[in-house]
Structure 1
């Protein structure tokens, strides 16, 4: 089968690598210039986008911010999975909030701002600690602004007056005093079969994911069941096909949905070595109408992002259970350059391996690594 992925970054690359053993031919689309490229080599291929769509059995995406005109053509082909509605929900926080509300799924108290006048009195309604998020194109901490006190609002008003809030509204969310950040990844195929991975515990720094640990420490059956219920309701409502990521806050034993990502996700990279079937293979299985793979997993696994650096000793590969994935990008501040996966026999073993890794890595680029080790010992 031929699979065409919209987006030509590391997620398309990892889909290609997962698809090869299944005899799936995966190509990618550079959506900036509408060229068809090899997902690993990044070389431009001779066929046009129109030809590649015709040749493909399945069209899918590696990220949700694909230009809508390209998605409309993909949807018209009848080959797009997940469907257009699902991708647009992931790309637009207003659509996302409406979906969550329609299903009575808990999320942070919020207001949708389409006019600067709506900021008047907002601290009385939501409290002084508010995070403002652009409804589109915001990720990894971009397109976000924080208010700690009411005194921050005049400066934010000056910023927002320069934006077209009618075209791209802002979602103002009350900052939730959550215990921890979690994510659930699962897959659903066209026949309605669903598999999910264990909840992962995520640590962010300056708006970017730095580490994911799975299963999340102190994970109860009740919390996993709550997450499964949220995933199932969302996936069935959307008639979703593929891997879906649900980012969550845990607060007093209750899960609040933070964001949805209609695709394979950074917090699921640990599954490449820590689960029976990784997220990339399960996404391809789902969109290609193959049976979904088992999500059975080991005692403890983790993913550590390599962000903004390439100066480290690869001798960390001498540590058992450590695996290295490099994306082949030019170094840039805050850019995800690759990741390290770690598998362990216990959380204590995982913490020890984090400590061992710190001997080989420039720790200014891994500011949460040792703190995470302390949390899980």
Structure 2
């Protein structure tokens, strides 16, 4: 079977690496000339709006999927009319827009921080009066890794936030959200098969800095596991979803507040390659091709650390027992995810020691 992937970044790369043992082949469509997944399949170098390239993409494949949620809606519809596209375009349209996400969560009874849409400077003032400060002003679309947002701590920050995110056109598609003084950030990775079967990985505790995920740690027997699964189940069943979906939450007062969904495999699930019985990448492919889902059980204690900007030297990484290195084939660049390492261990004490050694290397390489 030949799988088409819209996008050819590191997620597409890891999907292909998981798929070749299943006798799957891959075609990528991506506008980047040096897309890092390109060596792992055929790369159609074209814009997502190029209908000739999209038609060729569809001719070569049996099933299509995507590795990031900002594929244009028209592209998704074009592909979906020619080959099965999983997850379906509805999930993309919701995942692309923070307002649509929040409205869906409201509809499904999933708690969210207070929010209001913002299109004009006057609407921003109204939203600030209604929600209060501190708050976070965000673009509804395209923001990721801390981009497209501004923290408003006091009234003096409002104008600067508008100048940064909304003033260029006089009107904008923004959303103001109440700032959540969270205790933890968790994500829940759900996988749903073509016949509606469901599986969940252990929730993952995430640490961000400058809006970028730095460390992701799966938590076996977390007290919020069942609550996270309940909310994720509501979303995937409502969307008639097929594949892996990541649901990110804030933990406040001991309960979950929904932040956002990612209708794809996710950075907080990279630990599953070595840390789970079946990785999120293999399970996504199993789901969209109709194979039985693999076990989401932990193999043992593990943690993932992202390489941001520049990775440590391989010799230093390999000297730490239990460290598994993943490079993405990307040119080092500040604030860019260029790889990650997963650390595994026999017990939590050993994991902590190995993580400390790894973190020291990662911090030194970023300086």
Would the TM-score normalized by the shorter structure come out above 0.5? yes
Contact 1:113/1:165 (8 A) holds in 2: no
Match of 2:242 in 1: 241
Structure 1 residues 311 and 213: alpha-carbon distance in aligned structure 2, compared to 1, 3 A threshold: closer
Q: Matched residues in 2 for 1:45 and 1:185: separation?
A: 30
Mapping 1:153-192, distance limit 5 Å: 153-164=158-169, 168-192=172-196
Structure 1 residues 187 and 165: alpha-carbon distance in aligned structure 2, compared to 1, 3 A threshold: farther
Mapping 1:1-377, distance limit 5 Å: 1-31=1-31, 39-41=38-40, 44=43, 48-164=53-169, 168-215=172-219, 219-220=222-223, 223-358=224-359, 360-363=361-364, 365=366
- The TM-score normalised by the length of structure 2 is 0.92
Task: Kindly tell me the number of residue pairs found equivalent between the two proteins.
Answer: 361
Structure 1 residues 200 and 38: alpha-carbon distance in aligned structure 2, compared to 1, 3 A threshold: closer
State the shift of 1:145 in Å: 0.7
Q: Matched residues in 2 for 1:127 and 1:36: separation?
A: 43
Q: Matched residues in 1 for 2:212 and 2:93: separation?
A: 22
| Structure 2: segments with no counterpart, 5+ residues | 46-51
State the shift of 1:341 in Å: 0.5
State the shift of 1:94 in Å: 1.5
Q: Name the Cα RMSD after superposition.
A: 2.3
Secondary structure of 1:325's counterpart equals strand
More displaced 10-residue stretch of structure 1: 180-189 or 345-354: 345-354
State the shift of 1:363 in Å: 2.9
State the shift of 1:160 in Å: 4.5
More displaced 10-residue stretch of structure 1: 142-151 or 63-72: 63-72
Structure 1 residues 32 and 148: alpha-carbon distance in aligned structure 2, compared to 1, 3 A threshold: same
State the shift of 1:37 in Å: 9.5
- The TM-score normalised by the length of structure 1 is 0.90
State the shift of 1:361 in Å: 3.8
State the shift of 1:164 in Å: 3.9
| Structure 1: segments with no counterpart, 5+ residues | 367-377
Secondary structure of 2:190's counterpart equals strand
Structure 1 residues 127 and 188: alpha-carbon distance in aligned structure 2, compared to 1, 3 A threshold: same
Structure 1 residues 63 and 353: alpha-carbon distance in aligned structure 2, compared to 1, 3 A threshold: same
State the shift of 1:313 in Å: 4.7
Secondary structure of 1:192's counterpart equals coil
Contact 1:186/1:194 (8 A) holds in 2: yes
Runs of 4+ in 1 over 4 A off after TM superposition: 35-38, 41-48
